[in-house]
Structure 1
Amino acid sequence: MKVIVDPDRCVGNGICEALAPELFEVAVSGQARLLVDEISSDQQQLAQQAVDSCPALALTIVP
């Protein structure tokens, strides 16, 4: 499982980072970025919660 951040939609509000700091960070540029290449099975629920909570709909889960 992977998460893709759409830089055109991301507004850098930091909800993903607040929910899953081991998976996401908001860079100085104001864009969220994923800190891991693959989401482990024990982190999938956390990643899903971050995706569902993104108000800009900038995060997408791909298999």
Structure 2
Amino acid sequence: MVLEAPVNKRLLTLKELCDYLGIGMTKARELVRGHNGFGIQIGAKWYADLEKLNKWIDNNLQ
């Protein structure tokens, strides 16, 4: 089950990703820095592309 994201945001911060998935900061960093296709680095900060994250979740549930 995928929860609704806050107000039509395209990118989630690491904190928002933690809240969205119910995971800790260490796991969130691992996920966005991995080669999953949804992590985006802008400067020194990492974000998760919500659309790609949801597709990744759907693909990994099957």
TM-score above 0.5, yes or no? no
If asked which structure has higher relative contact order (CA below 8 Å, sep 6+), I would say 1
Q: Structure 1 or 2: larger helix share?
A: 2
**TM-score of the superposed pair, with normalisation by structure 2:** 0.35
Bigger radius of gyration? 2
- State TM-score, norm by structure 1: 0.35
Structure with bigger strand share is 1
